[in-house]
Structure 1
Amino acid sequence: MRHVALLVAVVMVVAACGDSEGGADPERFCEILDELDAQNTSGMPADEALPVIQEGRDKYVEGLEVVPDEIRTDAETFANFVIEITDLLIAAGGDESQVDVSDIEAINDDGVDAAAQSVGAWRTSNCS
């Protein structure tokens, strides 16, 4: 069985977004990406990982408000995927071993990888 640690790393590394109520704010979006990079639950006991996972989910939701328009569609695609994974981890109490890989595979689609690459390319070009 593949370990969910890789997916947790993805959750904590790449930020993405959706509906924009507060308006695009590329600078804040870059800050959120950096904040997510700093989060790492790999090897943490579940009780320690859970608050970090919840904080990461909150960062994604915040990103939904500030994503730049030029990557909005891709960011929404990736964010929806990440938020669903994060919800699975939260429901499992932060214990990666309790998340069924088939549940993750069920929410993944071909567009997620392309969307993540698009957001990553935007980040490389626009964040310092």
Structure 2
Amino acid sequence: MKLIQTILVTFVLFLVGCGDSDMPKGDESNPGVTATIYFDALYNKNNINMALEHATPRLARIMRSYGTASQFARNLVNMQFDEVTIEIDMTNASLREQYGDKAKINLVFTGSFNGDKVDDMRSVQMLRKKGKWYIDKINPDPFAR
């Protein structure tokens, strides 16, 4: 009986230790965390379905028309990465934005593409519906050609 208990405890600890540790962590009631999870799904997970969960129906319809996360990211977002780190830019953060139903979040992307270091920045418009934040619009890069 002790042997079975030991095996079960070891198995449970193994399962708990194998969680998805590379997912962004934080409170999803914060618009910045939701935006980070959205772009992590697009660029690091390459999973359009995970990203769709954090998009408004209007943006989700546009995303589905591209078919894959990489096609959407390359054509509409106009950024490509092999791997990327996503950070929230807090320089223009306003606490007042988090208490309304709209927010504008700036994100800084640092990563690599084809062996070259790539730094980029994007701004997203977000809406809160029923207490949950959704990406409504990805603002175009004002410095793009």
So what's the TM-score if we normalise by structure 1?
A: 0.26
| Higher strand fraction (1 or 2) | 2
**Greater RCO structure (CA 8 Å; 6+ sep):** 1
So what's the TM-score if we normalise by structure 2?
A: 0.24
| Higher helix fraction (1 or 2) | 1
